[in-house]
A and B are shown apart, each in its own frame.
Chain A
Amino acid sequence: MMASRFALLAFLALLAGCKREEREARLAPPIAEAQGAVLVMPNGISGRPHDVIAAQGDAFRNNAYQLSQGKRLFEWFNCQGCHADGGGASGPALMNGWWRYGPDPVSIFLSIRDGRPNGMPPYRDKLTTEQIWQLTGYLQTLGASTASLASTSRNDAMHSRPAENRAPAQAGHTTRPSP
């Protein structure tokens, strides 16, 4: 009797897995505006995102839909043109854990929105604030050294680096790459 009740409870617990991930297609305009209001350090490197990002559960890092949108934007807006598939070409690599302006999401956000010296163009007139955050969230997964529950889907074509939905290998870099 006790055992069958326990089995029933276990089955009910399984049903919790049926909940679908939230997919927010339309961001209310005031929230979209707030997402762009980042506090930046005077040197333009690092800062603090608006509270609204945390209030939404850091969706750009934790939501598979947001990450997938970031992955599509990476291809659509030709990030590969300079950064290759994340390994770097005429632009720096994005997946070795070394960030020229620090690993802070605000720094990555600012690099995309406002551009950086030596070639990185600003995308503020090409992408919306939400899209820049989606890209930022996706870029952070490229060099991640810890596994995450949310990930994009795999490529249809051959991967030139480990698929995003694979748990990352232990970070093995000991020396900083020459700039």
Chain B
Amino acid sequence: MNTARLPHLFLLLPLAGCSGWQSALDPRGSTAEELHGLFWLFTITCTAVWGAVLLVLAAALWRRRHPAGISEAQQARSERRSGVAIGAAVAATVVIITGLTFASYLATRGIAEEHPEALTIRVRGYQWWWEVLYADSAPHRAFLTANELHLPVGRPVRLELATADVIHSFWVPNLAGKQDMIPGRENVLVFTPREPGTYRAQCAEFCGIQHAHMALRIVVEAPADFERWREAQIAEAAPPMTPEEEAGRQVMESKACGACHTVRGTAAAGTLGPDLTHVGGRQTIAAGMLPTTRGSLAAWIADPQTVKPGNNMPMVPLTAEELQAVSAYLARLR
């Protein structure tokens, strides 16, 4: 390749951020659309103003100075003309800034709107994973899951954001703007997902050594698919089908696993780590670290501190048979 072209290719690199499953420039939700419009309005207006200023500067540099001996009448005319030009520039500045302020006010007012029929979900940040609670007026229909949010397309959603430890920030660029999760208080984020798809969210406030590995998936799907998923999540964990899976359930209950993790329908009822009742059905484990497979589950359990150093899951000593069994059991929990 011609090495002289290389810098041009690097200039094109930022364009890769303009679309995809984690991009504010590819809006798929109500709030993101508002912010996207605002972004381009500001960018185009400011670019135009900048261009105009440079043009005027270039013209001023280009024009020759007046020769020393001009008449008084000419001088007065010249001063009047520059007075008009400066007045017009000041007026344009006022109009543009007022216009942008008003546009920004309208956009943020639209974002803050409440919807009585919104789906309420509580999201809690932990070092370094996300706990997701689907609340329901019937308590037995509420359930906990982790690191994956399912939303029905077209229905407003109300996220109640909190944290269990330090400040985190919830940010799904394709759907909405950033919202901090602050200890001791609850922030609310309301938006409507407009298009089905899978989007990626990432903690947007430095929260410790594994901050970069604190990802969340948002699956926006048709309302019927969402209801099906919800009913499956409400159900208790699938019973073990093979002797190996049964052995895995026993490891889960009798070893340290159950001290921190819950598998609904078994004796494992810890509340410190993610709920594992349907862990096999989630796309990733450990907040986006690894795709969910039996192998990756085993790798994670065998040595969590190598996969994600500093996280709060300890390396629990298990025999090879126990590890095989518990990973087979967890992969089955769909």
Complex alpha-carbon distance, A29 and B304, angstroms: 12
Report A120-156 CB contacts with B as 1/0, cut-off 8 Å.
0000011110110000000000000000000000001
| Shortest distance from the beta carbon of A49 to any chain B beta carbon, whole Å | 18
CA A156 to CA B256, docked complex, whole Å: 28
The answer to whether residues A125 and B310 also contact, given A32-B315, A156-B183 and a CB cut-off of 8 A, is: no
Q: Which chain A residues numbered 86 to 143 have a C-beta less than 8 Å away from chain B? A: 125-128, 130-131
Number of A-B contacts (CB under 8 A): 38
What's the minimum C-beta distance from A101 to chain B, rounded to whole angstroms? 24
Give the chain A neighbours of B317 by CB distance below 8 A: 29, 32-33, 128
Query: Does B115 sit at the interface, judged by CB under 8 A?
Result: no
Q: How many Å from the CB of A85 to the closest CB on chain B? A: 19
**Are B183 and A128 in contact, with the CB atoms below 8 A?**
no
Distance between Cα atoms of A72 and B316 in the complex (Å): 18
Residue from A23, A33, A125, A131 within 8 A of B314 (CB atoms) = A131
Mark interface residues in B233-257 (1 if CB within 8 Å of A CB, else 0).
0000000000000000000001110
User: Do A27 and B315 form a contact, CB below 8 Å, given A76-B272, A125-B254, A156-B183?
Assistant: yes
Q: B residues within 8 A CB of A176?
A: none
**A interface, how many residues as a size bin?**
10 to 19
Task: Tell me the complex Cα distance, A33–B303, Å.
Answer: 15
Q: A26-B303, A26-B305, A77-B259 are in contact. Are A128 and B315 (CB under 8 A)?
A: yes
* Smallest beta-carbon distance A67→chain B, Å: 16
Which B residues from 291 to 305 make CB contacts under 8 A with A? 303, 305
Contacts of A76 in B (CB 8 A): 260, 272
Residues in B with CB closer than 8 Å to A26 are 303, 305-306, 309, 315
Q: Which residue of B lies closest to A123 (CB)?
A: B259
Contact A128 to B256, CB < 8 A, known contacts A29-B315, A76-B272: yes
Question: Which residues on the B side are within 8 Å of A23 (C-beta)?
Answer: 310
Asked if A14 is an interface residue, CB under 8 A from chain B, the answer is no
- In the complex, what residues of A have CB within 8 A of residue B315's CB? 26-27, 29, 32, 128
Considering the chains assembled together, what is the distance between the CA atoms of A156 and B164 in angstroms? 12
Q: Hey, what's the 0/1 contact readout for B78-90 against A, CB within 8 Å counting as 1?
A: 0000000000000
Q: Can you list, as one digit per residue, whether each of A39-76 has a CB less than 8 Å from chain B (1) or not (0)?
A: 00000000000000000000000000000000010001
Please state if A126 and B259 are interface contacts (CB–CB under 8 Å): yes
Cβ B314 vs Cβ A130 within 8 A: yes
Which residues from chain B contact A27 at a C-beta distance below 8 Å? 315
Known contacts A25-B305, A26-B315, A156-B183; decide if A125 and B255 are in contact (CB<8 Å): yes
Q: Give the complex CA separation of A131 and B317 in angstroms.
A: 12
In the assembly, what is the distance between CA of A150 and CA of B142, in Å?
A: 43
Please measure, in the bound complex, the distance between the C-alpha atom of A72 and the C-alpha atom of B306, giving whole angstroms: 21
Query: In the complex, which residue of chain A has the Cβ closest to the Cβ of B302?
Result: A29
Q: Nearest chain A CB to B110's CB is how many angstroms away?
A: 35
Residue in A25, A32, A77 whose CB lies within 8 Å of B310: A25
| B74 shortest CB reach to chain A, Å | 66
With contact pairs A26-B306, A156-B183 given, residues A128 and B314 touching in the complex (Cβ less than 8 Å): yes
Per-position 1/0 for B302-325, Cβ under 8 A of A = 010110011110111100000000
CB-defined contacts of B306 to chain A, threshold 8 Å: 26
Quick one: given A25-B309, A26-B303, A156-B183, are A126 and B272 in contact (CB under 8 Å)? no
Residues in A whose Cβ lies below 8 Å from that of B254: 125
Bound-complex Cα distance A131 to B303 (A): 16
**Least CB distance, A134 to chain B, in whole angstroms:** 10
**B311 contacts across to A, CB distance below 8 A:** 25
In the complex, chain A residues whose CB is within 8 Å of the CB of B312? 72
- A127 contacts B259, C-beta separation under 8 Å: yes
List residues of B (254-298) whose CB comes within 8 Å of A's CBs: 254-256, 259-260, 272
10 cross-chain CB contacts under 8 A = A25-B305, A25-B309, A25-B311, A26-B315, A29-B315, A72-B312, A76-B260, A125-B256, A126-B259, A127-B256
Please name 7 further chain A to chain B contacts, defined as beta carbons within 8 Å, in addition to the given A126-B256, A130-B314, A131-B314, sorted by A numbering: A26-B305, A26-B309, A125-B255, A125-B256, A127-B259, A128-B317, A156-B183
6 cross-chain pairs, A with B, having the tightest CB-CB distances, nearest first:
A26-B305, A126-B259, A128-B314, A25-B310, A25-B309, A25-B305
A interface with B by C-beta (< 8 Å): 23, 25-27, 29, 32-33, 72, 76-77, 125-128, 130-131, 156
